Amino acid sequence: MRLIASAVLLALGVRLVRSRHRRALHPAGRSFTGELEVWGLSPGTGSALLDRPGRRAVTVRISKGAGTRRDRPDVLGLAIRADGTDLLLSTAGTGRLTRHFPMPRRAFGTHYGTITSYRTGDGRKIYLSAGPDRDAAPLGRTLDSVAAAASTGRAGLLLYAGPREFGRVRFGAALSPAADAALAFDPVRNRGADLYPIGVIQGVRAVAYRLSRQWRGA
């Protein structure tokens, strides 16, 4: 894991040098208003955000990690800001080991994972993920197709804590390009008291997100 963290840090350093005044991480994306619908879990996870049934207004961003053009494969990203907590997921494997590694994908209606685990209020360690919602509009293969699906009011993804489905996120109105550029998601800085990321790689992410904000003046 330390070797992976070192490799990630090196890659981020190269990316930062090449990305003055723009995001070093997931530069191409679309942001939306949204709604998080949680139906809760029994037994609970120890996190109010995941366990407490209800609907919350959220901000959602869908993105491409390397910023490849149109429908070319990329590590796709899903960011959700709910109650001051930032949850960042990216396309990853689904196995016990492969869930730790980002995986390039073409279509946005696919599996996303948090890569690293989260600690909840009762000390439990869980992985969060998202996947296709059969009742939602297809997200397609491009950022424009995601925006088109969101405009129908039916775009969204199902959310999971470990293997258990706990809710869904719906995409609302698209934010302006200026509002998207001003957003600065950070799962280390913007974390909940009973839901926060853990692991060696979190130190790397904290440095990377701070440098990215400073480098682009966010």
Q: Are 118 and 198 in contact (CB under 8 A)?
A: yes
- Going by their DSSP bridges, the two strands 128-132 and 112-113 should be labelled as antiparallel
Q: How far apart are the first and last CA of the chain?
A: 30
Q: CA–CA separation, 141 vs 147, rounded Å?
A: 11
Q: CA–CA separation, 24 vs 27, rounded Å?
A: 6
- Nearest CA to 56 among 79, 37, 84? 37
For domain 27-199, the question of CATH label 2.70.40.10 is answered with: no
Q: What is the pLDDT along the chain (218 residues), one digit of tens a residue?
A: 444 444 444 444 444 444 445 566 778 999 999 999 999 898 999 999 999 999 999 999 999 998 899 899 999 999 999 999 999 999 998 888 888 889 999 999 999 999 889 999 999 999 999 999 999 999 999 999 999 999 999 999 999 999 999 999 999 999 999 999 999 898 888 999 999 998 765 555 555 556 555 655 66
Count other C-beta atoms under 10 Å from residue 59's C-beta.
19
User: DSSP code of 134?
Assistant: T
φ and ψ of 149, to 5 deg:
-65, -40
Q: Break the chain into its structural domains and give their ranges.
A: 27-199
